[in-house]
Amino acid sequence: MRFDFQKIVFCFFVLIVSVAPAQNIEKIGQKDMFKVGGGLNFSSIGYSAYGMPSRRVPYAWYLSGSLSVSVIDWSIPFSYSYSNQQSTFTQPFNKVSLAPQYKWFKSYIGFNSMTFSSYTLAGYIFAGGGIELTPGNWRISAMCGRLNAPVPYNAVAGSDANMAYKRLGYGTKIGYEKNGSALHLILFRAGDDPSSIPFIPLNTQVTPKENMVIGVIGKTKLNTHFSLEGEYALSGLTRNVLSDIETNPNRKNYLPGLFTMHSTSQFFSAYKTALGYNARQFNIQLKYERVDPDYQTLGAYYFNNDMENITVSPSFKLLNGKINCSLNSGFQRNNLDKTKLNDTHRFVNAANIAITLNNKLSMYASCSNFSSYTKTRPQNDPFFYNTLDTLNFYQVTKSANVGTNYSFGESKLKQAILFAASYQVSGQATTTQAAIPTVVYSGNVGYTINWQPAKTTANIALNVNRSEMTALNTIYYGPNFTLGKNLINNTMRISAGSTFNRALSNGKINNNIFNSRITLNYSPKVKNTIYGKPALGFTCNYLMRLPTDQNNTKSGELTLTINPSYAF
């Protein structure tokens, strides 16, 4: 990519303006202009097992620490970890990222990412400079820098898998917003430098590219209830800048003066729009999106293209907001230019309802139906008559969830009952064969009690999960109980719990697991936290596997963990 004088001036302006201000200079002279924080954590783990092979070493310890120095919001973090197995040390100077700001001015220096829109520059990390200005109703953004570093051809391995050209880019976004209306104009350009790689193999598919994208984003309120918003982008992409300059008069350059046409150049468009109606008790939005096949921008890592989406999503409130309902229904298709052998159509339907009758009882329910339809058209062979001219493939996924939460009791003795259940089925079929669907059921019911005077809580629950597949049916169920109490003016929390789970496959027991745990956390109160705050944790976990038949024996594992820490 060859930058002319205007590009160089543009980049120089962005970098100079970015470096000029200090790191949020409003904090100069204030108490928080200089901060130091971090912590130190030590873990000691003991382990033993019987009736089974050990799955870890008998004793291990880990020491980790972190230190963060902040000068006027410029943060320099360090982290360190060491154990009897390995150690690591990290520091941020491999890639420096600064974001100075002052009132409506913000700049980016070093390695950063910016987003103009989903079709132009969308979160791509670059090394350079950028600015964001928000004076009054104006919204101005600009960036300039290196998007990719050059990676030479691997001659030793004879591979171009990681080969990449040096890629530079610049862009700007200028907009104005007022009273719910807005208009933004976007320009983004990126390109590869063909001379950034010393050797290019003749048969490589990695070629230097160039891209110019212009975009416009707008929204407005049509009246009190209706609003309209939309976005459009036009992308010109040259797949190989070393290819010949286009001389065919029948090929039109849709970006004259901004983009140079080559024989490998193409233009793509993408746009979306949404019409919304907003009222006190009812809202609805109709959305449409279309992205050309092969649409690409060098300002994004990944992009979904060749798709058309139509979505309608109404929502409404009843009984003064006690009942909230929302619906979402959509249709998606691909193969917009009819050049692919497969057509895929997708239908999405979802509904949600949440009911809050009072501060004690709440309920919810949701369901969704995702289905896709694919039509395959085999290529015509003049020497072979294919009796299967088309193949239709269907895939359906349905799910439903329900739940309720009921709270009762007095302030000193609070109680709650929780219930939740879900159902999911997925299957597929062709025009000639239908597969047996996979069905999953799950349920949970629990009871919680909180005794305020004793600072004690208790919970008992039952979990059930069942899966039905083609040749395998499994069920997994068991109770769970936990008990917790606060001690020493709420500085210590001790809890104990037990869980029993049984798993069956096709009616045969294959697992009986009993798991118990005791946890203690102590965080003493300190008068002055400026010198830091210590904490101590202790956990004892015992896992026991009961025999499922005469050929198995009981086995178990015991794990003890002591975890002192210090934060400042």
In this prediction, residue 529 carries a pLDDT of 75
Residue 343 counted as domain residue: yes
Confidence check: pLDDT of 282 > 90: yes
Residue 387 counted as domain residue: yes
Query: Quick one: 470 exposed, middle or buried, by C-beta within 10 A (0-12, 13-18, 19+)?
Result: exposed
Residue 351 counted as domain residue: yes
Q: Per residue in 299-332, pLDDT tens?
A: 998 888 999 999 999 999 998 889 999 999 999 9
Residues sharing a CB contact under 8 Å with residue 558, sequence separation 6 or more, in sequence order:
47, 48, 49, 540, 541, 542, 543
Q: Which of 10, 355, 345, 390 is nearest to 168 (CA)?
A: 10
User: DSSP characters for 73-112?
Assistant: TEEEEEEEEEESS-EEEE-GGGS-EE--EETTEEEEEEEE
State how far the Cα of 233 lies from the Cα of 303, in Å rounded to an integer. 13
In this prediction, residue 376 carries a pLDDT of 53
Residue whose pair of structure tokens reads 């009762």 in the numeric block:
408
- Token pair, residue 79, equals 């982290």
Average pLDDT over the chain, rounded to whole?
86
Mean pLDDT over 139-145 rounds to 96
Residue 367 counted as domain residue: yes
Confidence check: pLDDT of 79 > 80: no
Mean pLDDT over 225-243 rounds to 96
Confidence check: pLDDT of 177 > 90: yes
Residue 309 counted as domain residue: no
pTM over 0.85: no
Confidence check: pLDDT of 346 > 90: no
Lowest mean pLDDT among 76-85, 87-96, 291-300, 396-405: 87-96
Domain count, the chain: 1
Q: How confident is the model at residue 17 (pLDDT cuts 50, 70, 90)?
A: very low
- Token pair, residue 314, equals 């109404």
Confidence check: pLDDT of 511 > 80: yes
Residue 25 counted as domain residue: no
Classified as helix, coil or strand, 336 is coil
Q: Which residues are registered as beta bridge partners of 181?
A: 178
Confidence check: pLDDT of 204 > 50: yes
In this prediction, residue 428 carries a pLDDT of 65
In this prediction, residue 109 carries a pLDDT of 87
Residues sharing a CB contact under 8 Å with residue 271, sequence separation 6 or more, in sequence order:
230, 231, 232, 233, 289, 290
State how far the Cα of 305 lies from the Cα of 372, in Å rounded to an integer. 17
Q: Per residue in 393-434, pLDDT tens?
A: 556 688 999 999 999 998 889 999 999 999 998 876 555 555
Confidence check: pLDDT of 386 > 50: no
Maximum alpha-carbon separation in the chain: 90
Q: Which residues are registered as beta bridge partners of 271?
A: 232, 290
Q: How confident is the model at residue 72 (pLDDT cuts 50, 70, 90)?
A: low
Structural domain for 386, as ranges: 320-438
Residue 232 counted as domain residue: no
Residues sharing a CB contact under 8 Å with residue 17, sequence separation 6 or more, in sequence order:
107, 129, 131
Residue 431 counted as domain residue: yes
Classified as helix, coil or strand, 251 is coil
| Residue 116 neighbours by CB distance under 10 Å | 26
Q: Which of 197, 195, 111 is nearest to 151 (CA)?
A: 197
Q: Per residue in 534-556, pLDDT tens?
A: 999 999 999 999 888 877 788 99
State how far the Cα of 128 lies from the Cα of 132, in Å rounded to an integer. 14
Confidence check: pLDDT of 37 > 50: yes
